[in-house]
């Protein structure tokens, strides 16, 4: 494999790897790099059983990624710390220091219209939009590549992780469809597809439809700076 020099733009998108444990469990790993935020998640490839996730803000210097951790299900003590690791890749594959497996590119940030890191900034209750301060420690973030999505609820002050879910998505003719591959709180939701209306207004993502429990929802998401 011929590796190319790294730059922040070329690493954007989603990557996946698969491995088998000594016990014969088939594990899938997915990492999404948005412009400033990343998330890495592991789950059972066959059942979708959630195993763990971590992520936060990242910068690239040469071939070294430095991550400021905002959530980590395996080690909450790492929240707020900076972790650095070497990385290199070709057009189709990536290697991360300390991990023996290679990651294969899923997409480069296309074709979905919502690639980026978003924070929930508003929610409708009845006919009233209730705004949410995106600077508070308690956050609900959604990171999307061109084909993959993941939401994460967490608190950077208490270092508490509340939940996550993710999989693939499409944006076609004003419809945003999520296909759930893992869900930390309720594994029975794995395999479900949910379709919502979406639009971009003044840079915000307006998202409406029905939740996986059938409840009506209207959410506003703002791109994370």
pLDDT tens digits, one per residue of 74-93: 999 999 999 999 998 888 99
Tens-digit pLDDT profile for residues 30-56:
999 999 999 999 999 999 999 999 999
Cβ atoms 177, 195 nearer than 8 A: yes
Give me the CATH topology for the region 116-223. Answer: Lipocalin (2.40.128)
Q: Is the dihedral of CA 52, 109, 112, 123 positive or negative?
A: positive
The CATH number fitting domain 8-107, selected from 3.10.20.30, 3.40.50.300, 3.40.640.10, 2.40.128.280? 2.40.128.280
What's the mean pLDDT when you consider all of the chain?
93
CA–CA–CA angle 177, 16, 83 (5° rounding): 110
In 3D space, the residue among 139, 149, 155, 105 whose CA is nearest the CA of residue 222 turns out to be 139
In 3D space, the residue among 83, 82, 87, 81 whose CA is nearest the CA of residue 99 turns out to be 87
Tokens of 12: 């954007």
pLDDT of amino acid 101: 86
Tokens of 171: 């944006």
Q: What percent of the chain has pLDDT over 70?
A: 97
Q: In whole angstroms, how far apart are CA 103 and each of 30, 80, 128, 134, 193?
A: 8, 26, 45, 32, 26
Name the band, by pLDDT with cuts 50, 70 and 90, for residue 178. very high
Domain with CATH 2.40.128.490 in the chain: 116-223
pLDDT of amino acid 34: 97
pLDDT of amino acid 6: 63
In 3D space, the residue among 15, 17, 54, 29 whose CA is nearest the CA of residue 145 turns out to be 15
Which range has the worst mean pLDDT, 11-25, 144-158, 162-176?
11-25
Residue 72 pLDDT exceeds 80:
yes
Tokens of 101: 């497996």
End-to-end CA distance of the chain: 35
pLDDT of amino acid 5: 57
- What span, in angstroms and rounded, lies between the C-alpha atoms of 124 and 145? 26
pTM exceeds cut of 0.85:
yes
Domain with CATH 2.40.128.280 in the chain: 8-107
């Amino acid at each position: 494999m011929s590796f190319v020099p790294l730059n922040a733009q070329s690493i954007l998108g989603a990557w996946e790897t698969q491995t088998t444990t000594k016990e014969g469990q088939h594990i899938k790993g997915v990492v999404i790099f948005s412009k400033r935020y990343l998330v890495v998640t592991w789950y059972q490839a066959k059942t979708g059983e959630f195993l763990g996730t971590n992520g936060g803000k990242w910068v690239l210097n040469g071939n070294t990624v430095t991550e400021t951790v905002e959530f980590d299900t395996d080690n909450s003590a790492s929240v707020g710390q900076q972790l650095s690791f070497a990385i290199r890749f070709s057009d189709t594959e990536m290697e991360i220091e300390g991990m023996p497996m290679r990651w294969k590119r899923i997409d480069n940030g296309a074709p979905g219209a919502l690639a980026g890191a978003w924070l929930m900034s508003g929610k409708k209750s009845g006919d009233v939009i209730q705004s949410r301060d995106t600077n508070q420690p308690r956050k609900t973030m959604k990171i999307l590549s061109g084909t993959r999505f993941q939401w994460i609820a967490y608190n950077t002050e208490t270092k508490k992780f509340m939940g996550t879910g993710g999989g693939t998505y499409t944006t076609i003719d004003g419809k945003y469809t999520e296909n759930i591959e893992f869900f930390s709180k309720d594994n029975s939701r794995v395999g479900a597809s949910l379709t919502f209306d979406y639009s971009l207004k003044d840079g915000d993502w307006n998202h409406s439809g029905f939740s996986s429990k059938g409840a009506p929802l209207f959410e506003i998401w703002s791109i994370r700076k």
